[in-house]
Chain A
Amino acid sequence: MIRRKILITGGTTGIGLALANRLSVRHDVIVTGSRAHEDITEAFSPNLVYVRASQSDPARAVKTIAQQLLKHEWPRLDNVVLNAGVGFAVEDGLDEVAKMRRTLDINVSSTMLIARAMYPWLSKTKGTLTIIGSVAHKGHKRFPSYAASKGALNGLARSLRSEWAGEVAVQVLHPGPVKTGMHEKAGLNPGWVSEFFIRTEPMARMIEYSMSSRRSPITLSWSRYIGGGSITGRRL
């Protein structure tokens, strides 16, 4: 088994953290997040290297990540998981301007620029770039800007996968609702429906198996979970 070098953005909460903790058992993992290290209260594996790089300023996030990779003497990466994302619920289809821009900056502009900047790192290993989308990428009336941002990532991955074929495997994964607290943060109480949300650990397993398959696009929904998506697959 090869010990991989892996970068995961948005790795201090939710599925990013679950994936980082899981992969750090057998691989070297750098995670990025927007908070100060001491403010991370979640179970954070001591094997993880933390880089603070808020994606609300795309150009600065890219610079910080590139600098930190060089500082830790990581000249190549086997996997990059662009997972950081935010969303805000709205009542009548109309978002606030500031929140719209924040959603698009973090979810799309930063993801786009980090993907571009990581090309030299990934092409050295013929590695895999994994973009985390959402089942909302086809549209959602309660999350218009969030859905638009995930639609953009779906389109970015589709075209970039074709551009980089043979050099870097680009894939987009569309998770269904997960028990991460993202819905509450977004201002939406999912109520009893949340009983059917997938837990973060099985979702992280489904993501890992999808990463090793290098296929795209893959929807990581409830039906895939029921079909055994979190227990069958190849580990990285």
Chain B
Amino acid sequence: MRALVTGGSAGLGRALCDALLDDGFDVISVDREAPSQKTEAKHIACDLSDRMTVDNLLDKLEADEAFDVVIFNAGISATGKFEDIEPEDHLRVFETNASAPMVCCAGLIKAGKIAEEGHIVFVASLSHFTGYPGASSYAASKDALAIYAKSILKPLKNKHKISVTTAFPGPLKTEHAARHAPSEADQERRMQPEEAARLILADMRKRKAKSLPGGTTALLAMAGQLAPKPLTFAMKQIIYKKLDRTVAD
């Protein structure tokens, strides 16, 4: 059994790699940085914001064996006032979070590199339900991914028997999330990436279309669908008004 995880060097990606390794998968991790700890996963260095590099990656993967599980998890962010964030940073966020996974997904399936009965997971964000003032390009990129996943779900299921699961994790206890949160934000209440990885993989195995890891996440997603405007207003009060700096990955 072979698995591909993008952004597998740290945070949720690393937790997903570890869980898959425990289940006996051969894991390939695609990340611009080398893994932060020793791991059995094979690392391919690739900056997903660079189209040429993504094309090379696809060529490489298309020459290799098919995957049973493919998880598009890699994501970067740019937080601050939309007009203060550099245009290149907005573009890099959208390329990495939306264009690259969409292109790689279509490319791998066309080349027959996702096995029949296989699984695809797209890691979107809880911001799909709540909005995210202070990271508008990030929110846009994650919405693109969620809607892409929803659009291809039926065609892939009917034609290739491949299941598509979209995960909407809330804030996790990772270095990346801490860097983009207001400095005064409480890190302790966040979910551990290992816990989120376990829940997402369980939903993937059940071939669920949506994965909302954790009770709070599910509750917030529901609230965001019932009352989208108050939720976005709350996000503005909790995050945007407290952002004290501009941060881009």
- List the interface of chain A (C-beta within 8 A of B): 58-59, 62, 92-97, 100-101, 104, 108-109, 112-113, 115-117, 119, 137-141, 143-145, 147-156, 158-160, 162-165
Sampled A-B contacts (5; CB under 8 Å): A93-B155, A100-B102, A141-B153, A159-B140, A163-B81
Scoring A108, A139, A143, A163 by chain B CB atoms within 10 A of each residue's CB, the highest score goes to A163
Q: Answer whether residue B60 sits at the interface, using C-beta atoms and an 8 A cutoff.
A: no
Measured between alpha carbons, how far is A58 from B94 in the docked complex, in Å?
12
Query: Closest B-chain residue to A156, C-beta based?
Result: B140
Q: Mark contacts of B81-95 with chain A using CB atoms, 8 A cut-off: 1 yes-contact digit, 0 otherwise.
A: 111010100110010
B151 sits at the interface (CB 8 A): yes
- Point out the residues of chain A lying under 8 angstroms from B85, CB to CB: 116
Q: Is the contact region of chain B dominated by helix, strand, or loop, or is it mixed?
A: helix
Q: Which residue of A lies closest to B93 (CB)?
A: A112
- Name the B residues within 8 Å of A95 (CB-CB): 106
Residues of A within 8 A of B134 (CB): 159, 163
Asked whether any CB of chain A lies closer than 8 Å to the CB of B11, the reply is: no
CB closest residue in chain B, given A123: B83
* Cα distance, A160 to B135, chains bound together (Å): 9
Q: Is the CB of B159 within 8 A of A112?
A: no
Nearest CB to that of B144 among chain A residues?
A152
CB distance from A174 to the nearest CB of B (A): 13
Q: What is the CB-to-nearest-CB distance from A79 to chain B, in angstroms, rounded to a whole number?
A: 18
Question: Contact: B144 with A108, CB < 8 Å?
Answer: yes
State whether A163 touches B136 (Cβ < 8 A). yes
Please give the number of chain B residues whose Cβ is less than 8 angstroms from any Cβ of chain A in the complex.
50
Interfacial residues of chain B within 63-85, with CB under 8 A of chain A in the complex: 81-83, 85
Residue of A nearest to B154 (CB): A141
**Residue from A92, A150, A153 having most chain B Cβ neighbours under 10 A:** A92
Cα–Cα distance between A153 and B98 once the two chains are bound (Å): 13
CA gap between A100 and B235 in the complex, in Å: 31
User: Does the CB pair A137–B147 fall under 8 Å?
Assistant: yes
Closest to A148 in B: B148
B139: interface (CB < 8 Å)? yes
Report the separation of the CA atoms of residues A205 and B51 in the bound assembly, to the nearest whole angstrom.
40
Contact of B35 with A by CB under 8 A: no
Contact (Cβ within 8 A) A109 B139: no
Cα distance A149–B98 in the bound complex, in angstroms: 9
Closest 4 CB pairs of A and B: A93-B155, A151-B147, A155-B143, A148-B148
Q: Compute how far the CA of A113 lies from the CA of B78 in the bound complex, rounded to whole angstroms.
A: 14
Q: Looking at the complex, which one of A113, A148, A160 makes contact with B144 (CB distance below 8 Å)?
A: A148
Kindly list chain B residues whose C-beta atoms are within 8 Å of the C-beta of A165.
236
| B107 partner residues in chain A, CB cutoff 8 A | 97
Interface residues of B in 92-149 (CB under 8 A from A): 94, 98-99, 102-103, 106-107, 109-110, 127-128, 131-137, 139-148
Which residues of A are found within 8 Å of B99, using beta-carbon distances?
100-101, 104
Chain B nearest Cβ from A178, distance in angstroms? 20
* List of B residues within 8 angstroms of A141 by Cβ: 151-155
Q: Which residue of B lies closest to A110 (CB)?
A: B91
Contacts of B168 in A (CB 8 A): none
The residues of A that contact B131 with a CB separation of less than 8 Å are: 155, 158-159, 162
B208 located at the interface, meaning its Cβ lies under 8 Å from any Cβ of chain A in the complex: no
The chain A residue with its CB closest to the CB of B90 is A112
Indicate which residue in A93, A101, A151, A164 contacts B143 across the interface (CB closer than 8 Å). Answer: A151
A206–B103 alpha-carbon span in the complex (Å): 35
